[in-house]
Structure 1
Amino acid sequence: MHFAKFLSIRSNFARLLLMSLSIGIVGLPNVGKSTLFNALTKKSVPCENYPFCTIDPSVGVVAVPDERLWKLSEFSHSKKTVPAAVEFVDIAGLVKGASEGEGLGNQFLSNIRETDAIAEVVRIFDDEKVTHVSGGIDPLRDIEVINFELILADFQTVSKRLVNLGRDIKRGDKEVVALGALLERLKVALEAGKLASTVPIEPKEAPLIQSLHLLTQKAIFYVLNKKAGGKNLDEHTNQRIDTNLRITTNGEKDERWEKLMKFMEKTKSSYVIVDAGTEHDLKDFEGGEKLQMRNDLGVKDDGIDNLIKKGYETLNLITYFTTGEDETRAWTIKKGWTAPEAGTAIHGDFKEKFVRAEIIEWDKLLAAGSYVAAREKGLIRTEGKEYVVKDGDVIEFKI
């Protein structure tokens, strides 16, 4: 699929789903990205065991798991239930030297630039049958390779922009001078190997940095791909040979895992552990059968649900609900939006026509037993234009 066509499809999805931001699935070749994408979307894309099998990005819109939605739907006896949605984009494997055009580097970096957040997938399992481009398994090394390429691409963007602004900066144009100062701060950080997102930004500078479309300004979280029954770093303990030539363990985690966890803590990074292979095998099963198979395989959590929720959280999104006999729907908004802004998720005119909103927390509504009972108990509040919507609010707009 040509990337321009992909963007057109993405635009159509966004109009249909009102607010569906995208997360780019990024990683080195053969770390399980496409397997993960298949499990996420139940959409078949090539994922053979060789680099660049996913040359064109694939996009899938997935429902955000939310038991609150289904409880509200049951409460209202709704004819229709519509979950919140988020897009995941499978981007072909990044390789060392991508920022210099290695592999299909320039194309990949351009595709990443079009997404709103990045999910970096790294392997934390050893498997001789699945080759690794760098030889052995070292998730922190892989993260450093990926981030280095993203940082280098951003450094090139910032440097070129500074050169182009040179004359205008000398003329003293205030807006250009402000942009130049921001670019200089970004350049220093990027030269030091830091992500653009680590640079403190004043509120007035937000539009300036957004105009740069920097890769490392995007929110990033990490997907640690393990394998059921395999040699997983989070389960493996260091071994030693005693004086009797017996192999024993000292109870300590694998050194590679310890280094990875220290990185996560130091950088305050967010991560989720997923068994992409198992989730892919389970993708066509539902309900009790899926739960039984998960138990048989010793996989406790639904890694895909956790991944989707983590992506939603990383995009700084929250959900509010509307519910009734016709429909119960989860609406996606940015955290911090006021009631009039939240109304635009339903219709663009709601912000201007907003009068007030009647609001109740989802769990209080269920506990009350009915809207009538909730109103009689004074649980339904009337809020005005300044009200900041909270995750889980059930809202009825008055316009």
Structure 2
Amino acid sequence: MRPTPDIQSPEGIHAHRLGPFTGDTSSDSRTDYLHDSRSLLCTFSLEPSAFSSHHPFTVLSLGIVGLPNVGKSSLFNALTAAKAEAANYPFCTIDPNVGVVNVPDPRLDQLAAIVHPERTVPAAVQFVDIAGLVKGASTGEGRGNAFLSNIRETDAIVHVVRCFDDPDVIHVDGSVDPVRDRATIEFELALADLTVVEKRLDKAKRAAKTGDKEAAAEVSSLEKAQAPLSNGQALWHVTLSNEDRDRLKGLQLLTLKPILYAANVTDAELTGTEGAYVTALRAAIAADHEPAQVVTFSAKIESELAELPPEDRADFLSSLGLESAGLDRLIRGGYALLGLQTYFTAGEKEVRAWTIKVGDTAPKAAGVIHTDFERGFIKADTVSLADFVANGGWKGVKEKGVVRSEGKEYVMQDGDVVLFKFNV
């Protein structure tokens, strides 16, 4: 389906289509596509596919960290089906691996069954896997501090922790102790952050000496971070004001990023009683008053699951007594951690899931598709997923009168099905 003009200008003059829309979203192209001799106001009701190939949408990015041999690369390989080298020895991950994983969402299948689009596009999560860290990583031990820089641009951190015994899988410290392992990784991340803070602090102090008030305020915030980091204390455990956090935000400090713990457990523990290792890990996190979630998974099961055809995976999980895969639980945990939700667009060209923040308004959600959608937002024709499905699509919901015309103040809800209208 071609972009369809909402073809009436304020003066009541109909806009005219002068030629085929090429997908070029430059201002000249938009003006050429719809205009009239007395008004250059152009109003569109477009399917997102007209723009999405030119403007990438928001993708949640998760950086995976952990000690060597905890199941980190095995998890990454299973999630992304990217066969990064995974071997039973430290530092097997030579370069950071990046993989994009589709977010499983049965609601997309419901929409596709009604709309019958040319394609269905799920939301996506990007996983960044780095080499296993060891004591001294922040100062160059193992593969060194360079690996930590690879996850500074991620939205959140997934810390994979070994919570299983297996004499055939060596532990870099000689024994399995998830509480100790967590402390080791946090210490290295804190020292890596310290290097960044101290480098910035030197510059801020020089600027503050010239009378720069903003620089002086930045010095104060940096020093509040420097003190605990110097002692190897992660900033997750430090009380900082919103103003301090705002000033530190641009540094992409690792220990200010939201963190999710992924506990790699035995197959039996996934369906049975939680083991002592996971219980101890949860207790340590609670003792530090850290607002972090622990998700259990089995790297072994995830690896086996990845080898199966998609249509056989549900039966495999059911045979193990599991309702969902580790991937699903990790992604749900990541969405909850970052306060994310999904809305949908549903047209003949495509049905697509889009990721936004909880609390985002309709214009903000439109901007995820294309900045012009937000800049020239007029309204959002909105319907709940349940109503859309129950009434057989756009035609049915319009006939039943359940489509809502939402304005700029509307706060998006998870599962909204939306058609945006805007002008540029």
* TM bracket, shorter-chain basis: 0.7 to 0.9
Picking from 332, 338, 351, the partner of 2:355 is: 332
Amino acid corresponding to residue 263 of structure 2 in structure 1: L
Determine the structure 2 residue equivalent to 1:388: 411
Residues in 1 aligned to 2:297 and 2:346: alpha-carbon distance in whole angstroms = 33
Residues in 1 aligned to 2:401 and 2:228: alpha-carbon distance in whole angstroms = 53
- SS of the aligned residue for 1:126 comes to coil
After superposing the two structures, state which structure 1 stretch, 275-284 or 51-60, moved more: 275-284
Could you state the TM-score of these two structures normalised by the residue count of structure 1?
0.85
Relative to structure 1, the CA distance from residue 198 to residue 358 in structure 2 (aligned partners, 3 Å threshold; closer, same or farther) is: farther
Tell me the CA shift for residue 24 of structure 1: 1.1
After superposing the two structures, state which structure 1 stretch, 388-397 or 31-40, moved more: 388-397
Alpha carbons 1:20, 1:85 under 8 Å: kept: yes
Determine the structure 2 residue equivalent to 1:344: 367
Please tell me whether residue 368 in structure 1 is matched to residue 391 in structure 2: yes
Determine the structure 2 residue equivalent to 1:271: 294
Please tell me whether residue 139 in structure 1 is matched to residue 162 in structure 2: no
Tell me the CA shift for residue 72 of structure 1: 1.3
User: Mapping of 1:217-256 within 5 angstroms?
Assistant: 217-229=256-268, 254=276, 256=277
Once the two structures are superposed, what CA deviation does each residue of 1:281-300 show, in whole Å capped at 9, x if it has no partner?
12121355333333444545
Once the two structures are superposed, what CA deviation does each residue of 1:74-102 show, in whole Å capped at 9, x if it has no partner?
12222211000111011110111111111
Please tell me whether residue 309 in structure 1 is matched to residue 348 in structure 2: no
Counting aligned pairs with the same residue, the percent is 48
Residues in 2 aligned to 1:110 and 1:209: alpha-carbon distance in whole angstroms = 16
Residues in 1 aligned to 2:77 and 2:337: alpha-carbon distance in whole angstroms = 21
- SS of the aligned residue for 2:69 comes to coil
User: Mapping of 1:129-278 within 5 angstroms?
Assistant: 129-191=168-230, 193-199=232-238, 205=244, 207-229=246-268, 254=276, 256-265=277-286, 266-278=289-301
Residues in 2 aligned to 1:113 and 1:370: alpha-carbon distance in whole angstroms = 42
Alpha carbons 2:55, 2:369 under 8 Å: kept: no
Once the two structures are superposed, what CA deviation does each residue of 1:145-188 show, in whole Å capped at 9, x if it has no partner?
10111012112322332233223223331110111111122123
Alpha carbons 2:119, 2:349 under 8 Å: kept: yes
Once the two structures are superposed, what CA deviation does each residue of 1:260-303 show, in whole Å capped at 9, x if it has no partner?
12133342211211111111112121355333333444545311
- SS of the aligned residue for 2:154 comes to coil
Residues in 2 aligned to 1:346 and 1:324: alpha-carbon distance in whole angstroms = 14
Count, aligned residues: 369
Relative to structure 1, the CA distance from residue 199 to residue 338 in structure 2 (aligned partners, 3 Å threshold; closer, same or farther) is: farther
Alpha carbons 1:30, 1:50 under 8 Å: kept: yes
Determine the structure 1 residue equivalent to 2:49: none
Determine the structure 2 residue equivalent to 1:79: 118
Residues in 2 aligned to 1:152 and 1:373: alpha-carbon distance in whole angstroms = 59
Determine the structure 2 residue equivalent to 1:284: 307
Amino acid corresponding to residue 174 of structure 1 in structure 2: K
Once the two structures are superposed, what CA deviation does each residue of 1:194-215 show, in whole Å capped at 9, x if it has no partner?
4324555555555521221211
Please tell me whether residue 121 in structure 1 is matched to residue 144 in structure 2: no
Please tell me whether residue 318 in structure 1 is matched to residue 357 in structure 2: no
Alpha carbons 1:124, 1:234 under 8 Å: kept: no
Residues in 2 aligned to 1:184 and 1:22: alpha-carbon distance in whole angstroms = 29
Alpha carbons 1:357, 1:395 under 8 Å: kept: yes
Determine the structure 2 residue equivalent to 1:55: 94
Relative to structure 1, the CA distance from residue 234 to residue 112 in structure 2 (aligned partners, 3 Å threshold; closer, same or farther) is: farther
Alpha carbons 2:263, 2:278 under 8 Å: kept: no
After superposing the two structures, state which structure 1 stretch, 366-375 or 178-187, moved more: 366-375
Determine the structure 2 residue equivalent to 1:240: none
Please tell me whether residue 27 in structure 1 is matched to residue 52 in structure 2: no
Alpha carbons 1:124, 1:233 under 8 Å: kept: no
Residues in 2 aligned to 1:67 and 1:27: alpha-carbon distance in whole angstroms = 31
Alignment RMSD = 2.5
Alpha carbons 1:62, 1:85 under 8 Å: kept: yes
Alpha carbons 2:373, 2:421 under 8 Å: kept: no
Picking from 74, 99, 103, the partner of 2:138 is: 99
Alpha carbons 1:35, 1:280 under 8 Å: kept: yes
Amino acid corresponding to residue 327 of structure 1 in structure 2: E
Amino acid corresponding to residue 263 of structure 1 in structure 2: A
Runs of 4+ in structure 1 deviating by more than 6 angstroms, as ranges, are 13-16
After superposing the two structures, state which structure 1 stretch, 50-59 or 259-268, moved more: 259-268
Alpha carbons 1:185, 1:199 under 8 Å: kept: no
Determine the structure 2 residue equivalent to 1:40: 79
Residues in 1 aligned to 2:333 and 2:394: alpha-carbon distance in whole angstroms = 32
Once the two structures are superposed, what CA deviation does each residue of 1:340-363 show, in whole Å capped at 9, x if it has no partner?
121122122111211111111212
Amino acid corresponding to residue 258 of structure 1 in structure 2: T
Could you state the TM-score of these two structures normalised by the residue count of structure 2?
0.80
